[in-house]
Each structure stands twice: as C-alpha cells, then as structure tokens.
A and B are shown apart, each in its own frame.
Chain A
Amino acid sequence: MSAGIDQAAQSPTPRAPAAPPPDADGRQIAWDRRRRALAAFWREYRKDRGGMIGLAILVVMILIALAAPLIANSRGLDPGLANYPANAGPGWKYPLGTDSDGRSVLTQLIWGSRISLLIGFAATFLSMVIGAVIGIVAGHFGTMKNWLGRQTDNVLMRVTDWFLVVPFLPLAIVLARTLGPSLHVIIFVIGITSWPGTARIIRAQALAVETRPYLERSRALGAGHWHQMAKHVLPNVMPLLLANTILTVAGTILSETTLSFLGLGDPTRASWGEMLNSAFISGVGTGNAIWLIAPGVAIILVVMAFTLVGHTLEAVLNPKLRER
C-alpha cells in the first residue's frame, strides 16, 4: 500500500497533455458505452425464458409475414381464381382446409399476418408518438411555475381523461363508420383511441424526470423548452416508452381484430380479423371449422408473444430506471 502512495506522490512529472480533440472522442466514448449497455441488456434479457419464447414467436411470425410471397401463392387469395373444393377440411393439398370461396385457409393465414402485423405496428407507432408527445409536453409544462404551463398540462390531461373514460369500441365504431372503410382509417382510429394510456404513463415518468437536477441546470444555462424536452426528458422516458410500446402492440392487434370482425375493416385486405369476419358471416358451425380456429390461435400466439416480450423488457429495464 505504501508503494502505491509513493507512486502517486511521484506522478506529476510533467507530461504533454495527450488529450485528443474532445468532440470526436466524446462521441466515440458515448457509442462505446451504448454498445456495452446494449450487450449488458441482452445478457439480462436472455435469462428470462418467457421473454425468449415470446421473442422467438415474434421473430418467426415476422419472418413468415415478410416471406409471404415466397411461401404462399398470392393468387390463392383471389376468390375468382380459387379451385373449388369449398369448405374442405384439412388435407394434403390444403393443410388447413378451404374457406367458403374455396381459397386455402393457410394462404390467407400467412398473407393475413402481414396486414394484422402492419396495422398493429402502424397504429401503435401513431399512438406512441401522440402519447409520448402529449405525455412529455404535459409533464414538462406541468412543473412550470407559470399559470399557462400548468393550464397546458391541465387541458391535456382532461383530454386524455376523456379518451380514457369513453368506451373504446363504440368510439372506434362511430369514427370508423363515418370515415369509411380503409386501411388508413383503421390505423388512424386505433391509434387515436390507444394513446391515452401511454400519455398517462409517460407524463408520470416525465414529471419524475423534471425534478432531477440536470434539468434545472440546463434551464439555468438557457436551454429552451424544445431542447429540454427533446434532449433531456425524451431520452430518459425512452426505456419506459419502449416497453409500453411493445405491450400496446398486443392491444392494437386485438383492436384491429375486433374492428375487422365487426365489418369495419378493409374487406380487400385479408387480415386475421377479416378472416374471422368472413367465417362468421358465412355461418358459424357450417363449413370448415379450422377456418375459424386458425386465425384465433394465431392471434392468441402473437398477442401473448408481445406481452411476454413487453413484460421482460419492463423487468430488465426497470431496475435501471429505479436506481437512477
């Protein structure tokens, strides 16, 4: 121990300050740190068996959706071109049977995954953006000392509360019906009805972040609202936002299924919900039962997968959030 002390006492022999240009190195350091953090995160995530199962299912589903043109002939979706054994049960040629138009259920299932996942992701993205913006703005201005700031927070929260109280399905129905049946409308409707939950959570987190000292310091240095929100608050709510987003996707997929089932979806794009709608309309109990069961099972798997992944994300990210 004494040797070390001696060494330290001797160290200030003049040495040329070997400090490299701070900027480039700083960025490099930041990226290195991020890479290490990502690796640590992945290591932690891998420990969770359920999370890995969920992730596996998701990867498989997404691969199937992307590879749809390769594995299932899209002509199989056209009722006009269908070979004709309608309502056939599962067999060699049609592994999951056919629907009432004679189309292969398996083909529809594979192509349907594209639509269902697309709508799920798109609607979630919309809802996440709206929710995050409103949450951060409300949280940021809510801590301001001026009246206008707090009123902004107040008004935003009242709007959020309104959307939370009003029942989802009736709202979605009147919106979708009035705006017409199309993919974009569905995405819009689901997005616009799902953001309140995210907004509330993000606002709570933003409020917590706002009280931290570096926000005050940045304000003292003259940082504007935009800078504070974008450069300080946003990165700190990101982990929570990410976990919340994954969980939201599960919900939006279910919402899309429900809306399509009720007839509000785009009939030309066969999502899983549309399949269930067609199966329902052509009569439950008549025809191929697999036509009805398969999409449901697919939905259950995907929703559970997203939920598993979302929960693992939360669990892995949370301890870090807590110790900050």
Chain B
Amino acid sequence: MSNALRGLAGDRPPRPAPLDGALATAQELRGEEAGAARGRGAGRGSGLARSLTVKIASGVVTLFFVIVFNFFLFRVLPADPARNLVRGSALTATQMAKINRTFGIGLPLPQQFWNYLVQTSRGNLGISFEFHIPVSQVIGAALWPTILLVGSSTILSTIFGVWIGIRGGWHRGSTFDRSSTAICNTLYAMPDFWLGMVLLIVFASKWAIFPAGGMHGFGGGGTGFASLGDLLWHLTLPCLVLTLVYLAEYSLVMRSSLIDELGADYLLTARAKGLRDSMVRRRHAVPNALLPSITLIMLNLGFVISGAITTETVFTWPGLGLASYNALNFPDYPVLEGAFLLFSAAVIAANLIGDLLLTVFDPRVRQA
C-alpha cells in the first residue's frame, strides 16, 4: 500500500506540525523523564514528590507568563488603555481620572504590573464592556455549560476513540482498519464547525429532529425529567460534533501507538507462553501503548479548546466558547483577557493531570 495512503489510512496521525512534533516531543520527554528519574537515585517516595513539585511549579510559571502576556497585550500595547477598559460608556474627565487611578494607569509600569498581578490573583479580571458586570461573573455563568459539553464529548470520544484505535491497530490492514482510519483522517482534515453546520442543515433544518441551537427550549423546557430530557435533546448535536472531532485524533494516536508496540519482543514472549491473541493484546500491548498516547493527547489539548469555541458558536451553546465569540465581535477586551487566562489555566491543569497519570501508570517514569 502506498506510503501516503498508509499515512492516511495511516501509520501516523496526519496532523501537521503540532502532532508530529508532539510525537518527537513525547518520546523526548519520556526519554528525558526516565533518564532524569533514573539519575536521581533518591528514595522512591521523595523522588515522586520532588518531580511533582517541579511540574506544578513549571505550570505556575507558565500561567504567570500568560498573565504577563495579557498585561503586555492589553495594558501596555494599546495607546490608551483606559479607553480600552471602559469603551462603550461615555465618561466625564473626572470619571476617566478615577478609572485611571483605579486601574493604575499612569503609574510606572512595574507598579501597574504588580497591581495587575494582585488583582488577577484575587479573581478581579475587570469589568465586561458588553454587560457591565465583572468578567469573573460572565465567565462563571458560562463555565458549567462548557464543562458539560466538553466533558461529555471527551468521555465519549475517549471510550470510542481508544477502542477504534486499538482494534484498527491490532488488525492492521483489515477492512475495519482501513475504513476507520480513512474516516478519521477525513474528520481530521475537516473544519469542525463545518461539520457542525452540515449536521445542523441535515438534522435541524431538513429533518427537524434536533433543535437548531441553544441549551434549553423556550420556557426552560419544564422541570425535573422533562428538563433533563430537553437538555439532552439540545446537547445531542453539539456533543456529537465534538465527539467525532476528538475521536478522530484519539483513535489515530492510539492506533499509531499500538502499531509502534506491535513489533516488540515482549509480545513474542507473551505469545510463546501460550496466551491467546486477545490476551496478548489486552494484557501486554495495550498497557504499553496507552502510555505514549496519554502523553501525546495531553500535549495537544489546545485542540479541545478550539473545538469547544467553534462548536459552541455554531450551536449557540451558552458556554465559555460562545462568550469568547461574542466578546470577540463586540469587542469585549476584558472578557477576552479573562477567557484566555482561563483556557490557558485549564490546559495547564490538564497537562499536569496527564503528567500525573503517566507517573502513576508508567513505572519507568515513576522511578526515583
């Protein structure tokens, strides 16, 4: 089979730079981890605690630089930051002066930055231009719908994606494998919002099976079970889109990981012991293939966020993604700032969790 078609029906997820780089990075990271871990030589427990502290510290530093970045972009760069902060409202000179004092504009830069830092750590992310309420409130209200949408699709896509990837990778070249990888590669090459819009046309417009958007029907959709049903009915299409999009990546990663393990010697040992094929796969190949998959998926978490933003926009799902879209078009800078900060924090946290999972499950990394 041609190399590229193999790539497509694929040996490797075809994702451009991020994922390919991620593969090299993942191997690098694991190699460095294991090497560094072995080099330490202290007791097992303290080694674990130490590497954990280092990782958390690193995450905090990254977040810090996100804040620095925000500061630079929104307070330093614009010509008149005050105007940016209170745009949309007509203010007198005295009011402007008061704003300047509150936000510390006109103060020396380091001082400003310190104020900014303090404010941010207290949760004061500014006032929304559009809604004139604190940004933290805007974000807070939008958080739950996003968690619901992203959470449900992540769970579904992980379960199905891993299963498809394992089955495809193990029976490489089979009809299942070739068709599933072709479909996944097509999904991967597809703009996720386009998929959403196509589904909308088919299922909400042509055949009005599902609602065209929103999270609840008019009037809240009833109480109790009726309300839950209404919610699920609205959740179906956006969740389907995200699940398909995430699933494409997860299954390709898992498949590629498993294929990398297929030639391993320990699988030959397992077969020689008399294990059935499914046992060899389940007990030996998959646990080893899951580890680099975790690393790879964690490294590429940004795409989960992108998917959320575009899908919520298409389906008018009242989450953080839609809030970003609205803020983007208004433009509501404080909300954009806050959303960026929150998204970054989420990805950093997820990376940490991924690292933790790896430490728990991979004894080579765990070693002190």
A/B touching: CB–CB < 8 A: yes
Interface, chain A (partner B; CB < 8 A): 47-54, 127, 131, 161-162, 164-171, 173-175, 177-178, 194, 196-198, 200-201, 204, 244, 247-252, 254, 257-258, 261-264, 273, 276, 279-280, 284-286, 289, 292-293, 295-296, 299-300, 303-304, 306-312, 314-316
Instruction: Give bound CA distance, A307 to B9, whole Å.
Output: 12
Is there an interface contact between B8 and A304, defined as CB atoms closer than 8 Å? yes
Among A48, A161, A248, A299, which residue has its beta carbon within 8 angstroms of that of B16?
A248
Q: State the CA gap A167–B41 with chains docked (Å).
A: 35
Determine whether B5 belongs to the interface, using a CB cutoff of 8 Å to chain A.
Answer: yes
Contact A264 B328 (CB under 8 A): yes
Measured between beta carbons, the chain A residues less than 8 angstroms from B22 are: 197
Shortest Cβ gap from A190 to chain B (Å): 11
- A-chain residues with CB within 8 Å of residue B299 when the two chains form the complex: 164
A50-B5, A167-B305, A312-B4 given as contacts; is B331 within 8 A of A307 (CB)? Answer: no
Given the interface contacts A196-B21, A200-B24, does A309 sit within 8 Å of B339 by beta carbon? no
Binary interface encoding of chain B residues 334-368 relative to chain A, with 1 for a CB under 8 A from any of its CBs, else 0: 00110110011001100100000000000000000
Beta-carbon contact of A251 and B314 below 8 Å: no
Closest 8 CB pairs between A and B? A285-B205, A50-B4, A311-B7, A197-B21, A197-B17, A50-B5, A251-B16, A167-B302
- Interface residue? B49 (CB, 8 A): no
Provide the bound-state CA to CA distance between A198 and B306, in Å: 20
Query: Is the pair B20, A201 in contact by a Cβ cutoff of 8 Å?
Result: yes
B246 CB contacts on chain A under 8 angstroms: none
| Complex contacts, A310 vs chain B, CB 8 Å | 14, 16
Interface size on B, residues (CB 8 A): 68
State A78–B111 Cα separation when bound (angstroms): 51
Contact A251 B18 (CB under 8 A): yes
Query: Beyond A280-B314, A316-B3, is A175–B328 a contact (Cβ under 8 Å)?
Result: no
Contact of A285 among B20, B65, B201, B351 (CB under 8 A): B201
Whether B328 lies near A262 (C-beta < 8 A) is yes
Q: Which of B8, B21, B28 has the most CB of A within 10 A?
A: B21
B62 adjacent to A250 (CB under 8 Å): no
Asked whether B4 lies within 8 Å of A198 as measured between CB atoms, the reply is no
Contacts of A286 in B (CB 8 A): 205
Tell me which residues across on chain B come within 8 A of A204, comparing CB atoms.
Answer: 24, 28
Interfacial chain A residues near B8, Cβ < 8 Å? 50, 304, 307-308, 311
**When the two chains form their complex, are residues A251 and B204 in contact, meaning their CB atoms are under 8 A apart?**
no
Q: Which residues does chain B contribute within 8 Å of A248, judged by CB atoms?
A: 16-17
Q: Which of A174, A247, A285, A309 contacts B17 (CB 8 A)?
A: A247
In the assembled complex, the CB of B7 is this many whole angstroms from the nearest CB of chain A, namely 3
